[in-house]
Amino acid sequence: MSEGNVGLTVTKEFTFGGPTDVVTLESGRKIGPVTLAYETCGRLNEDRSNAILICHALSGDAHAAGYHEGETTPGWWDALIGPGKAFDTDRFFVICSNVVGGCKGSTGPSSTNPETGKPYALDFPFITVGDMVNVQRHLVDHLGIERLLAVVGGSMGGMQALQWVSVYPERVRSAIPIATALKHSPQQIAFNEVVRQSIMGDPAWRKGNYYDYGQPQNGLSVARMIGHITFMSDASMETKFSRKLKNGGYGFSLEDDFEVEGYLRYRGDSFVKRFDANSYLYITKAMDYFDLSGDLFLPGRQKIDTRFLVISFTSDWLYPSSQSLDIVRALKKRRIAATYCELKSTWGHDAFLVEVEEQTRLIKNFLRSIPAVPLELNRVSKGRMNHETAACSAESGGA
Amino acid sequence: MSEGNVGLTVTKEFTFGGPTDVVTLESGRKIGPVTLAYETCGRLNEDRSNAILICHALSGDAHAAGYHEGETTPGWWDALIGPGKAFDTDRFFVICSNVVGGCKGSTGPSSTNPETGKPYALDFPFITVGDMVNVQRHLVDHLGIERLLAVVGGSMGGMQALQWVSVYPERVRSAIPIATALKHSPQQIAFNEVVRQSIMGDPAWRKGNYYDYGQPQNGLSVARMIGHITFMSDASMETKFSRKLKNGGYGFSLEDDFEVEGYLRYRGDSFVKRFDANSYLYITKAMDYFDLSGDLFLPGRQKIDTRFLVISFTSDWLYPSSQSLDIVRALKKRRIAATYCELKSTWGHDAFLVEVEEQTRLIKNFLRSIPAVPLELNRVSKGRMNHETAACSAESGGA
């Protein structure tokens, strides 16, 4: 185990519900049993007050930190989770679970339907971000945690963090939604719809019943290529690729001439090997359905003492800072303590994965500010933003 | 014929070259004969000094203005071309031709290969924006026009305008490149590459030999959907669609829930009926190859008296204003007269097609400023921008 790394991690499974004890989804459909794949690092303290739930983005999984036996690539947020890191596993008990509907160990379209003995495929019920969170709540219950110190995530992970507070405010002491939104704009829906059409337009998709034949690789690969363009920024692509040619000149053919073309083809191809096409359809749909705008966010009139750190990145054009400001404004309206930081970055939406230093500083300061004992209701800010993180160079949310 | 409309127009053909008189392309490949489909409106004056060449964008054609017999939709730039309009056909002789490599009457991959009697498909040689312009030049010769009053175009049409001045500066008295660039950024190449992969990944593409079977409709449709997202802006999509649902609620299925999804599917499907998939591959590749950056723009040391009006739009994120500023800077470096206007618009890249009023005012003023007789060389601005269009609210190009 190297310094600052959590070392080997193992994916565990938690299964609940069953034929007589099904989970009712937001669509009204029922499902059971449900398995969640999850990993933990650090130790849960005696009063169970140091648990942090990390929620993953679209194609993420439960393996957020450390290494799996025999593998050389660490978890997807290893840079932020570990001893001494932003989510300091010497202090916190960190949980990350794969979402329901996914394909990384949690029940999803590629899982075996107990009624047929075959993969669910499109018989799998459509899920929402609300369902993802409700199902995660069962896991948190199972782990014996009444109140989470923090719920954290970037992109779709941030949606889950917002959803957690919206539905279970009393169970979340703080939330860190990063590079995310209260709802998808039509442009975000449009990109997801093209992604879905690319998959569904591939004859190898076979209306979702491709499990005996292999993935719809052309469609899924193109879908992921579209995604990668939106995850990067014009600036980061200029830095990384510019107009560099693979072979020094134009080929005057349909082969890839430019390095950026080769990169996209590679990312598309490798995604096919690691992610289920139907899960991609289901999860993008869940993101498009997500809507906590207006009165849908934190409904009711109860006082909420969850504290917020909202982070966005200057070059993120997929989840632009304006959407994070919408979150901050909604919090202000509900008189909820929020720190907002827009970090300078050229990395586009990928910044939440790669901007380690600034995020670490912000998150450490923020987590330090969460009181050791739960705040009494009513004690928090009176309608103004708290800019408690001195390092924050960003504009004020509601100002 | 309605007031202000050029009325009925007819697409004509001009064929040149042949087995013994082939056209050599920039790739070194040869082709012949070449047919160009073109339309004209207005009358060429006696000294042939009032001809304006309009260059179309990626999926455009020669039918820029007026109506075809029996059709109710006018040409793609009818709002700007006609009696009293920006390109006033009472004063100017307007020419628009379909690019070589296209599929709207000009020779392209779907044309019959005289050697085989079958469509060229991928035997068609790859073409460049330089080739498009060289071939257009044959048409301009054929029409007996020594010097064009203006070469104009948006997007890829603007690339052609830049190319015209770069290669034939003595034949172009003014140029109006709109919403365009001296070269594609890696992000623009990336979008085009995904478009191509979508088409080529469709098994119905059959390595380009689909002409006996029908278009690769899934791939081409998705390709066009991607295009449409990039042609619009976040703001225009918000205005047009917001999160409006087609059927009032979520369907919890893979059907289109949101109006924006239905719109994209419709645009994708209708494109399949009107545009050849191989032409889309060839033309996007030509755009990616286009590069007039650095010393490639206006090579040589001769004085150039072509005047420029460069236009961009605030919400165009596909061809952002920064790329138009690059053009203006390159012109300034070569001490060429340029007026630059960044127009406020929420329409994204589509603005060049739909922002009629402001463009009309700018273009009319600009064309009025072109001297009746060719400028003497050396008379134009000495290293500073001309901001002759009083209406221009934009920042200075080189400032």
Strand runs (DSSP E) across chain A, as ranges?
12-16, 23-24, 30-31, 34-41, 51-55, 81-82, 87-88, 93-97, 150-154, 174-178, 307-313, 338-343
Contact A186 B29 (CB under 8 A): no
Contact A291 B243 (CB under 8 A): yes
- Residues contacting residue A341 through CB under 8 Å, at least 6 positions apart: A309, A310, A311, A312, A362, A389, A392, A393, A394
Closest CA to B39 of B89, B109, B91: B89
The verdict on B146 touching A (C-beta cutoff 8 Å) is: no
For residue A157, count CB atoms less than 10 angstroms from its CB and return exposed for 0-12, middle for 13-18, buried for 19 or more: buried
A213 to chain B: which residues are within 8 Å by CB?
Answer: none
Closest CA to A127 of A39, A29, A222, A210: A29
**Residue numbers of B between 5 and 44 with CB closer than 8 Å to A:** 27, 29
Q: Which of A29, A203, A238 is nearest residue B186 as measured by Cβ atoms?
A: A238
Contact B189 A29 (CB under 8 A): no
Determine the Cα angle at B235 with ends B234 and B237, to 5°: 65
A240 to chain B: which residues are within 8 Å by CB?
Answer: 186
Note down pLDDT in tens along chain B; length 399 residues: 344 899 999 999 999 987 767 789 999 999 989 999 999 999 999 999 999 999 999 999 999 999 999 999 999 999 999 999 999 999 999 999 999 999 999 999 999 999 999 999 999 999 999 999 999 999 999 999 999 999 999 999 999 999 999 999 999 999 999 999 999 999 999 999 999 999 999 999 999 999 999 999 999 999 999 999 999 999 999 999 999 999 999 999 999 999 999 999 999 999 999 999 999 999 999 999 999 998 888 877 788 999 999 999 999 999 999 999 999 999 999 999 899 999 999 999 999 999 999 999 999 999 999 986 554 443 333 333 344 333 343 333 333
Q: How many CA atoms lie within 13 A of B117 on its CB side?
A: 0
Separation between Cα atoms, residue B207 and residue B121, nearest integer Å: 9
Residue A372 dihedral angles phi and psi, to the nearest 5°: -65, -35
What pTM did the predictor assign?
Answer: 0.93
For residue A108, count CB atoms less than 10 angstroms from its CB and return exposed for 0-12, middle for 13-18, buried for 19 or more: buried
B235 to chain A: which residues are within 8 Å by CB?
Answer: none
C-beta separation of B65 from B77 below 8 A = yes
B239 CA: distance to closest CA in chain A (Å): 9
C-beta separation of B359 from B342 below 8 A = no
B238 to chain A: which residues are within 8 Å by CB?
Answer: 185-186
Separation between Cα atoms, residue B317 and residue B308, nearest integer Å: 22
The domain ranges of chain A are: 12-183+291-368, 188-288
C-beta separation of A52 from A87 below 8 A = yes
For residue B293, the chain A residue with the least C-alpha distance is: A243
For residue A208, the chain B residue with the least C-alpha distance is: B254
Q: Which of A29, A198, A289 is nearest residue B250 as measured by Cβ atoms?
A: A289
Q: What is the pLDDT of residue B18?
A: 74
Note down pLDDT in tens along chain A; length 399 residues: 344 899 999 999 999 987 777 789 999 999 989 999 999 999 999 999 999 999 999 999 999 999 999 999 999 999 999 999 999 999 999 999 999 999 999 999 999 999 999 999 999 999 999 999 999 999 999 999 999 999 999 999 999 999 999 999 999 999 999 999 999 999 999 999 999 999 999 999 999 999 999 999 999 999 999 999 999 999 999 999 999 999 999 999 999 999 999 999 999 999 999 999 999 999 999 999 999 998 888 877 788 999 999 999 999 999 999 999 999 999 999 999 899 999 999 999 999 999 999 999 999 999 999 986 554 443 433 333 344 333 343 333 333
The verdict on B170 touching A (C-beta cutoff 8 Å) is: no
The verdict on B180 touching A (C-beta cutoff 8 Å) is: no
Q: Around Cβ A57, how many Cβ atoms within 10 Å? A: 25
Contact B189 A243 (CB under 8 A): yes
Q: Class of the A188-288 domain? A: mainly alpha
Q: How many CA atoms lie within 13 A of A76 on its CB side?
A: 22
Rounded to 10°, the helix B217-231/A186-200 angle is 170
A212 CA: distance to closest CA in chain B (Å): 19
What's A78's DSSP letter?
T
The verdict on B287 touching A (C-beta cutoff 8 Å) is: no
**Topology agreement, domain B12-182+291-369 and domain B188-288:** no
A393 is catalytic: no
- Residues contacting residue B98 through CB under 8 Å, at least 6 positions apart: B36, B37, B38, B56, B60, B61, B62, B104, B105, B106
Q: What is the pLDDT of residue B301?
A: 75
Helix, strand, coil shares of chain A, percent, nearest 5, are 35, 15, 50
Q: Give the sign of the dihedral formed by CA A131, CA A133, CA A136, CA A137.
A: negative
Separation between Cα atoms, residue B126 and residue B28, nearest integer Å: 10
Q: Around Cβ B28, how many Cβ atoms within 10 Å? A: 8
Catalytic residue annotation of B: 155, 316, 349
A137 CA: distance to closest CA in chain B (Å): 22
Q: What is the pLDDT of residue B371?
A: 83
Q: What is the pLDDT of residue A21?
A: 72
A285 to chain B: which residues are within 8 Å by CB?
Answer: 254
The verdict on A125 touching B (C-beta cutoff 8 Å) is: yes
Of the candidates A110, A155, A233, A321, the residue annotated as catalytic is A155
C-beta separation of A156 from A183 below 8 A = no
Contact B201 A222 (CB under 8 A): yes
Kindly list the distances between the CA atom of residue B321 and the CA atoms of A315, A317, B82, in Å, as whole numbers in the listed order: 17, 16, 28
Separation between Cα atoms, residue B78 and residue B70, nearest integer Å: 16
What's A394's DSSP letter?
S
Residue A39 dihedral angles phi and psi, to the nearest 5°: -130, 155
Q: What is the DSSP string of A349-367?
A: GGHHHH-HHHHHHHHHHHH
Q: What is the pLDDT of residue A22?
A: 79
Q: Which two tokens stand for residue B133?
A: 């312009």
Closest CA to B328 of B316, B314, B317, B342: B342
C-beta separation of A381 from A311 below 8 A = no
Separation between Cα atoms, residue A275 and residue A260, nearest integer Å: 22
For residue A237, the chain B residue with the least C-alpha distance is: B186
Type of residue at B9: T
Contact A185 B238 (CB under 8 A): yes
For the domain with range A12-183+291-368, which CATH number is right: 3.40.50.1820, 3.10.20.30, 3.40.50.300, 3.40.640.10? 3.40.50.1820
Closest CA to B268 of B206, B353, B195, B322: B195
* Residue whose entry in the numeric block shows the structure tokens 């009023």: B357
Give B199-202 contacts, CB < 8 A, sequence gap 24+: B199/B223, B199/B277, B199/B280, B199/B281, B200/A254, B200/B281, B201/A202, B201/A218, B201/A219, B201/A221, B201/A222, B202/A201, B202/A202, B202/A218
Separation between Cα atoms, residue B309 and residue B179, nearest integer Å: 11
Q: Please check whether the domain covering B12-182+291-369 is classified as CATH 3.80.10.10.
A: no
Separation between Cα atoms, residue A224 and residue A196, nearest integer Å: 10
Q: Around Cβ B68, how many Cβ atoms within 10 Å? A: 15
A155 is catalytic: yes
Q: 3-state class of B142 per DSSP?
A: helix
Separation between Cα atoms, residue B283 and residue B287, nearest integer Å: 6
* Residue whose entry in the numeric block shows the structure tokens 């947020």: A77
Alpha-carbon dihedral angle through residues B123, B126, B130, B131, given to the nearest 10 degrees: 0
Residue B162 dihedral angles phi and psi, to the nearest 5°: -65, -40
Q: What is the DSSP string of B320-375?
A: -HHHHHHHHHHHHHTT--EEEEEE--SSGGGHHHH-HHHHHHHHHHHHHHS-SSPP
The verdict on B221 touching A (C-beta cutoff 8 Å) is: yes
Closest CA to B78 of B384, B356, B382, B319: B356
